[in-house]
């Protein structure tokens, strides 16, 4: 059905008084871009007369505005709750065949037509809402907690409910679902009888059957309610898989079995509606498997309630396209989002799928009217059939309500650690090292140790870098970024031989991504050979950290003398802390040339200020991260 919208202006409501005389009762609908509020105006005589009973309405010609029909009770309750927040006379009834209807009214037929036109024009109800006589309405499921009744049973109009306390409003509301009466098992049919019973299906019932066939893995075409060749083939395949004759026309009993299997996977998990007023979200979730833990903006966290390691996060924050993009990147750093899986983003939304060995995750969010809302479902691996059903229910039942989580609610406690986002653990790399940009397209030279054994490599946080060359003997690796970048600075290699005891500096990330810019460590050139006499290695007098490895060794003018090598030593022999080794520029340049990279060089030693050296180092130095 069409997406509902907000409306403003004057809308008239009409009701029948005893004896069939029409009384016009007008109320205002206030549309402020959030909710539509209707002020109740009740006449005392209406309560005493009993004309609100469905039978009385049918006799006097009273009708309802049926605004939606849903294939599950939980989804219908969620939508009824959303309508009840905007309109007064909201009712929900079972329609038969597993469907549930949401209706407004009852009203006088003539005035119902006028009211329906006004509501449609204002976008307050879906465009395919229609006038119903109530004959199809069976047991009543809404308002929640009301005694089940058909329109023909006696009913009373309740007085306005008391306002919820502030404390009660803070916690999400879970609404218990009423079980629908179990239908008798239909008799088996002949092929002509199956065709006849199929012909009596409504379009909604035919679409629901296609949805169930898709869930069963035998149908991958569109949900259109048209039983063409694709649907017939899917039916035949389902029949073959379940031991029936493959006629391509399902009997009433077969259709019931398919739908029962489709719904049966949700048994025992308490799938039902939850309204989180603070987050401004109403959604169905497996309430027997997850329970509300806390609001940690931008998330409302629902943790596992038992042995099944399921988890739900509701996403709620104000923002724009830039904030949406930032949230998309941050979510992918969390431990609860496996690294492998499809994902994508545009200006108004994103979807992230992650599949790991022990669990899978789905995250989605959309930006509407300056509010970013969505959810994350984390589910154990190996339970794909149930996960898909839960995910479908969550998607279909998701309703945006007024308001978002207040970022001021974030507590100043240990959950604000640098490796946590809103109390959730961030995925950490195997190691972080340094590198230097060597061309304008963003190629990076680093040490081979930086990329050894990595499943994925990132340059300045952008994953997917390609390892062009890795030479463990030389200790060098060359990387190409996942997409072309324009570094602020590119290395210029010094080809002149430096003098012993010249001042040098190493630019690197000794603390990984804890710092957004590289740090400089100053020292001196102790020898133009390594401790074992290697010609391509220089010895330095400075104290370096493991994260500095791969960073450029600079002369006073910012030219690159080489790359800092990882600290060398054995269990029975450790080098002094002030001793470091560097791979010289003369050994790096041939590797760059072989990779087709035209390096910049100079043979003129130059001097400069410490400030200029710091700026030059920040422009050319890259953070290299190794991930599983």
pLDDT tens string 41-52: 232 232 223 323
The neighbouring-strand residues paired with 444 are 437, 479
Residue listed under structure tokens 């549930």: 100
| Closest alpha carbon to 425 in 437, 436, 417 | 417
Q: What is the mean pLDDT of the chain?
A: 78
pLDDT above 90 for 131: no
The average pLDDT across 212-221 equals 89
Q: Where a domain ends, among 396, 425, 454?
A: 425
Pair (592, 448) in one structural domain: yes
The answer to the question of residue 446 being in a domain is yes
The answer to the question of residue 285 being in a domain is yes
What is residue 380's three-state secondary structure?
strand
Pair (339, 394) in one structural domain: yes
The answer to the question of residue 255 being in a domain is yes
Contact 225, 213 (CB under 8 A): no
Pair (417, 433) in one structural domain: no
pLDDT of residue 574: 61
Contact 286, 270 (CB under 8 A): yes
Q: Where a domain ends, among 385, 400, 425?
A: 425
10 Å Cβ neighbour count for 163?
Answer: 8
3-state secondary structure 527-586: ECCCCCCCCCEEEEECCCCHHHCCCEEECCCCCEEEEECCCCEECCEECCCCEEEEEEHH
Contacts of 301 (CB under 8 A, 6+ apart): 292, 293, 294, 295, 311, 313, 422, 423, 424
What is residue 437's three-state secondary structure?
strand
The average pLDDT across 447-467 equals 90
Contact 222, 207 (CB under 8 A): no
The answer to the question of residue 173 being in a domain is no
pLDDT of residue 215: 84
- Element of type H or E holding 230: helix 229-241
Pair (624, 509) in one structural domain: yes
| Closest alpha carbon to 141 in 153, 150, 131 | 150
Pair (438, 587) in one structural domain: yes
Model confidence at 61, pLDDT cuts 50, 70, 90, reads low
Contact 224, 203 (CB under 8 A): no
Q: Where a domain ends, among 200, 233, 264?
A: 264
**Of 111-115, 151-155, 542-546, the least confident:** 151-155
127's tokens? 């465009």
- Cα-Cα-Cα-Cα dihedral of 464, 470, 476, 479, to 10°? -20
CATH number (domain holding residue 356):
3.40.1000
253's tokens? 């009993």
Give the domain range for residue 222: 191-264
pLDDT in tens, 161-200: 344 444 444 567 665 544 445 545 556 789 999 999 999 9
Residue listed under structure tokens 């002369």: 555
What is residue 237's three-state secondary structure?
helix
> What is d(CA 251, CA 449) in angstroms, rounded to the nearest whole number?
65
Pair (377, 463) in one structural domain: no
Contact 430, 628 (CB under 8 A): yes
Pair (125, 202) in one structural domain: no
Pair (292, 225) in one structural domain: no
Phi-psi region of 512 (alpha: psi -120 to 50; beta: other; left: phi over 0): left
Pair (102, 245) in one structural domain: no
Strands (E), 319-412: 343-345, 349-355, 359-368, 371-380, 399-400
The average pLDDT across 273-282 equals 94
> How do 600-602 and 492-494 pair as beta strands?
parallel
The average pLDDT across 603-609 equals 81
Strand order in the sheet with 22-31: 9-16, 22-31, 36-38
- In terms of C-beta density within 10 A (0-12 exposed, 13-18 middle, 19 or more buried), how is residue 169 classed? exposed
Residue listed under structure tokens 């489709």: 262
pLDDT above 80 for 344: yes
Q: Report which DSSP code applies to 123.
A: T
pLDDT above 70 for 591: yes
Number of domains in the chain: 4
What is residue 607's three-state secondary structure?
coil
Which one has a higher pLDDT value, 474 or 409?
A: 474
**How many angstroms separate the first and last alpha carbons of the chain?**
44
CATH number (domain holding residue 215):
1.10.101
pLDDT of residue 445: 96
The answer to the question of residue 530 being in a domain is yes
Contact 253, 186 (CB under 8 A): yes
Pair (393, 491) in one structural domain: no
Contacts of 16 (CB under 8 A, 6+ apart): 22, 23, 51, 57, 60, 62, 108
pLDDT in tens, 398-449: 999 999 998 765 544 444 443 445 556 666 788 999 999 999 999 999 999 9
59's tokens? 């006799």
The answer to the question of residue 181 being in a domain is no
pLDDT of residue 379: 95
Q: What percent of the chain has pLDDT over 70?
A: 78
| Closest alpha carbon to 84 in 144, 174, 156 | 144
Model confidence at 119, pLDDT cuts 50, 70, 90, reads confident
> What is d(CA 125, CA 116) in angstroms, rounded to the nearest whole number?
8
pLDDT above 80 for 17: no
The neighbouring-strand residues paired with 301 are 294, 313
- Element of type H or E holding 208: helix 203-215
The answer to the question of residue 524 being in a domain is yes
The answer to the question of residue 179 being in a domain is no
pLDDT of residue 550: 94
Pair (354, 301) in one structural domain: yes
What is residue 78's three-state secondary structure?
helix
Contact 26, 14 (CB under 8 A): no
> What is d(CA 238, CA 519) in angstroms, rounded to the nearest whole number?
64
Phi-psi region of 464 (alpha: psi -120 to 50; beta: other; left: phi over 0): left
Pair (321, 366) in one structural domain: yes
């Amino acid at each position: 059905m069409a997406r509902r919208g907000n409306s403003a202006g004057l809308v008239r409501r009409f009701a029948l008084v005893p004896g069939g005389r029409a009384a016009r009762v007008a109320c205002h609908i206030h549309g402020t871009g959030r909710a539509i509020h209707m002020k109740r105006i009740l006449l005392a005589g209406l309560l005493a007369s009993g004309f609100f009973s469905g039978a009385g309405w049918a006799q006097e010609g009273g009708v309802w505005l049926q605004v939606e029909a849903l294939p599950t009770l939980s989804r219908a309750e969620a939508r009824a709750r959303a309508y009840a927040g905007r309109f007064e006379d909201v009712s929900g009834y079972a329609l038969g065949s597993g469907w549930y209807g949401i209706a407004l009214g009852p009203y006088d037929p003539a005035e119902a037509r006028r009211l329906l036109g006004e509501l449609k024009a204002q976008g307050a109800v879906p465009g395919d809402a229609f006038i119903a006589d109530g004959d199809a309405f069976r047991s009543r499921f809404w308002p929640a907690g009301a005694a089940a009744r058909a329109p023909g049973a006696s009913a009373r109009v309740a007085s306005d409910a008391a306002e919820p306390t502030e404390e009660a409003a803070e916690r999400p509301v879970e609404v218990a679902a009423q079980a629908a009466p179990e239908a008798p098992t239909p008799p088996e049919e002949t092929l002509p009888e199956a065709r006849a019973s199929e012909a009596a299906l409504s379009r909604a019932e035919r679409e629901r059957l296609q949805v169930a066939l898709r869930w069963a893995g035998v149908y991958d075409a569109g949900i259109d309610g048209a039983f063409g060749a694709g649907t017939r083939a899917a039916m035949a395949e389902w029949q073959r898989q379940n031991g029936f004759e493959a006629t391509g026309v399902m009997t009433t009993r077969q259709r019931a079995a398919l739908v029962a299997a489709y719904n049966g996977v949700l048994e025992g998990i308490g799938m039902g509606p939850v309204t989180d007023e603070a987050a401004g979200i109403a959604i169905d979730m497996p309430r027997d498997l997850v329970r509300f833990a806390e609001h940690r903006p931008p998330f409302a966290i629902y943790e596992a309630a038992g042995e099944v390691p399921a988890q739900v996060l509701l996403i709620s924050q104000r923002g724009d396209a830039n904030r949406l993009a930032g949230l998309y990147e941050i979510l992918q750093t969390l431990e609860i989002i496996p690294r492998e899986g499809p994902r994508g983003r545009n200006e108004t939304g994103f979807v992230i799928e992650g599949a790991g060995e022990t669990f899978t995750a789905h995250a989605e969010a959309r930006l509407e009217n300056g509010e970013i809302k969505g959810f994350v479902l984390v589910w154990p691996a190996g339970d794909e059939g149930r996960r898909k059903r839960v995910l479908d229910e969550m998607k279909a039942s998701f309703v945006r309500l007024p308001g978002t989580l207040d970022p001021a609610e974030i507590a100043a406690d240990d959950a604000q650690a640098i490796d946590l986002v809103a109390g959730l653990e961030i995925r950490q790399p195997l190691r972080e090292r340094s590198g230097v940009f060597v061309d304008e397209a963003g190629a990076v030279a680093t040490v081979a140790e930086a990329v050894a054994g990595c499943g994925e490599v990132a340059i300045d946080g952008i994953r997917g870098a390609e390892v062009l060359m890795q030479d463990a003997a030389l200790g060098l690796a060359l990387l190409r970024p996942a997409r072309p970048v324009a570094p602020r600075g590119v290395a210029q290699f010094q080809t002149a031989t430096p003098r012993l005891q010249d001042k040098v500096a190493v630019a690197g990330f000794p603390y990984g991504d804890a710092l957004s810019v590289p740090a400089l460590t100053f020292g001196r050139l102790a020898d133009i050979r390594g401790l074992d006499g290697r010609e391509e290695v220089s010895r330095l007098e400075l104290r370096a950290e493991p994260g500095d490895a791969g960073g450029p060794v600079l002369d006073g003018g910012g030219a690159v003398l080489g790359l800092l090598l990882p600290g060398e030593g054995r269990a029975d022999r450790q080098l002094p802390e002030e001793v470091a080794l560097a791979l010289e520029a003369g050994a790096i340049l041939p590797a760059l040339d072989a990779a087709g990279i035209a390096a910049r060089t100079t043979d003129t030693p130059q001097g400069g200020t410490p400030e200029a050296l710091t700026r030059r180092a920040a422009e050319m130095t890259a953070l290299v991260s190794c991930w599983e």
